[in-house]
Amino acid sequence: MKSKNIGILGSGVVGKVLAGGFLKYGHRVMIGTRDVSKLAQWKEQAGEKGQVGSFADTAAFGDIIVLAVNGTASKAALELAGAGNLEGKTIIDASNPIAEAEPVNGVLKFFSDINYSLMEQLQAAFPGAHFVKAFNSIGNSFMINPDFGGIKPTMFICGNDGDAKKEVAEITEMFGFEVEDMGAVEAARAIEPLCMLWCIPGFREKRWAHAFKLLKL
């Protein structure tokens, strides 16, 4: 992929890991946050291709946007980013609609509805942006070139815009995944809950080292 500007909305571990992946492959990255001071150390390590800015600066900077904020804040973060700065852009949506509640027997609680996913809510709120669900159901330590003994994990993606999905497929392949396009935005109803499934062995048995693979004939 030609070198691009990647605007990452989210200063948590996912934002930083994905930023590292894009820097590794020669892209320019800006991480967006409400408090730039907390990324001073990251900025120092990132070198000249890594920048830090507000959510609006970051969205304006990005040719491609990554949404990696707390699910409860995803709409607020996009509002701070500004609809105009998102217009026509691919948004890689790694966020999950995890409610602020303790898991029950290892099962996370969602604030979204099984028939109306978080990404559908975001796509409806920002109709000019091209949301593509990806990276939501893999732990951050396996997001960039994970080593599962030569087996490529599956990245399930979905979204309404074919070109945006092609762009995201290229990125996820670059990061070491095989891609399964599950269709339009409604498929996020199925992809978002994969994060629940991924986390169950972790919460129940402290097993966090796994990834999904779709076996096909």
Ligand X SMILES: NC(=O)c1ccc[n+]([C@@H]2O[C@H](COP(=O)([O-])OP(=O)(O)OC[C@H]3O[C@@H](n4cnc5c(N)ncnc54)[C@H](OP(=O)(O)O)[C@@H]3O)[C@@H](O)[C@H]2O)c1
Using an 8 Å Cβ cutoff, are 206 and 129 in contact? no
Which residue, 11 or 123, has its beta carbon nearer to ligand X? 11
* Among 6, 7, 14, 81, interactor with ligand X by CB under 6 A: 14
Residues 6+ positions from 141 with CB-CB distance below 8 Å: 17, 208
Q: Name which of residues 61 to 90 contact ligand X (CB under 6 A).
A: 68-71, 73, 76-77
Alpha-carbon span 55 to 73, nearest angstrom: 12
The answer to the question of residue 96 lying near ligand X (CB under 6 A) is yes
Which residue, 35 or 163, has its beta carbon nearer to ligand X? 35
CB of 134 to ligand X, least distance (A): 10
What is the total count of residues that contact ligand X (CB under 6 A)?
24
* Among 136, 144, 159, 211, interactor with ligand X by CB under 6 A: 136
Using an 8 Å Cβ cutoff, are 33 and 156 in contact? no
Question: CA-based angle 170:134:70, to the nearest 5?
Answer: 140
* Among 13, 99, 124, 209, interactor with ligand X by CB under 6 A: 13
Question: CA-based angle 202:207:208, to the nearest 5?
Answer: 70
Alpha-carbon span 174 to 47, nearest angstrom: 21
Indicate if the alpha-carbon torsion angle 58, 62, 67, 72 is positive or negative: positive
* Among 5, 58, 85, 95, interactor with ligand X by CB under 6 A: 95
Which residue, 14 or 46, has its beta carbon nearer to ligand X? 14
Q: Which residue is nearest to ligand X (CB)?
A: 12
Contact residues: ligand X, CB under 6 A: 10-15, 33-35, 68-71, 73, 76-77, 94-96, 98, 135-136, 139-140
